[in-house]
Amino acid sequence: MRKKQNNTMPIIGAFLMLLGIILILFVIFYPSGETVSENDPVVENPDQTISVDPTKEETPEVLPEVSPELPQEESENTPTDPETTPETSEPVPEVTPEEEKMTVDTSLWNLILVNPDNFLPEDYSFEKEQVQGNYYLDSRAAPYAKQMIEDAKKEGIDLQICSSIRDVDLQTRLFNNKINDLISEGYSEADAKVKAATIVAVPGTSEHHTGLALDIVTPSYQRLNAGYAETDAAKWLKANAAKYGFILRYPQDKTEITKIIFEPWHYRYVGTEYSEFIMSEGICFEEFIELYGAKE
């Protein structure tokens, strides 16, 4: 029995020695406080206290930048919360072009329209007053014509009336004379009547029946043709007649509307309330009535 115990002792000693070697190797290769690789999985310890070395600079974590909420100015495109919008005065409704556009009473004596499509009413009448020599106008327009002639004279412009009021009989004679002149020039009777109507108004459609129209020339140029437009008298009238309530009745660029040739000598009284507007807008009387006449 004693001999058997002596045989196991070396084995135990060898085992203990091997165990000691293993422990030594473990301590060498796995020291305490070893740095963990960035690629090694980390198990967070909820009880661990993290200390920060203030002397050691660390790169802070970059977080999305959040701007503090500030009150924004309202723009036209910013929706407004109806519950928080302060009360304001009632907005002024926008005025449409139709509402802005003036309207005129075309039944007024000074706005009567007489042209190839609008005959003079049979019961039309007025009192007349002398303007210059044997030429008269409606007494309501005559003072303005006289003042215009006087003021032009002060500026060295000599205005001479060559036609004013015409009754239907006189207009008929003038119209027939023009037809005969055109026939003698080679026009057929039918064509002569059509052509004559663009030069001399058909009886009953002449503005001269109204007592509101004047044909004005100057002593140095008394021909009724387009050349008159180049005279100082015609230029003065075009620039100043509206101040006295008169308009150039048959402009050069409106012949298709008026159906009358360009007549730089023919001026029509409409009143100062409308004359300057018509002339400044560059429209003819027909356009003015169409655009601004009160519709029934």
The pLDDT of 264-272, averaged and rounded, is 98
In total, the chain counts a number of residues equal to 296
What residues does CATH 3.30.1380.10 cover in the chain? 109-166+206-292
pLDDT of residue 16: 77
Tokens of 176: 């027939």
Mean per-residue pLDDT over the chain, rounded: 81
- Least trusted range by pLDDT, from 98-112, 120-134, 279-293: 98-112
pLDDT of residue 21: 79
- Residue 214 CA to residue 210 CA, distance in Å, equals 10
CA-wise closest residue to 274 among 102, 117, 100? 102
Catalytic residues: 263
Q: pLDDT (tens digit, 9 = 90+) per residue, 213-232? A: 999 999 999 999 999 999 99
The pLDDT of 51-56, averaged and rounded, is 41
- Residue 6 CA to residue 24 CA, distance in Å, equals 28
pLDDT of residue 30: 57
Nearest-5° Cα angle at 287, 285 to 292: 95
Query: Given pLDDT bands bounded at 50, 70 and 90, which one contains residue 134?
Result: very high
Amino acid at 105: D
Amino acid at 83: E
pLDDT of residue 23: 76
CA-wise closest residue to 214 among 282, 108, 136? 136
The pLDDT of 52-75, averaged and rounded, is 43
Q: pLDDT (tens digit, 9 = 90+) per residue, 70-108? A: 444 444 444 444 444 445 455 554 544 444 678 999 999
**What's 109-166+206-292's CATH class?**
alpha beta
- Residue 200 CA to residue 180 CA, distance in Å, equals 12
- Least trusted range by pLDDT, from 20-34, 161-175, 202-216: 20-34
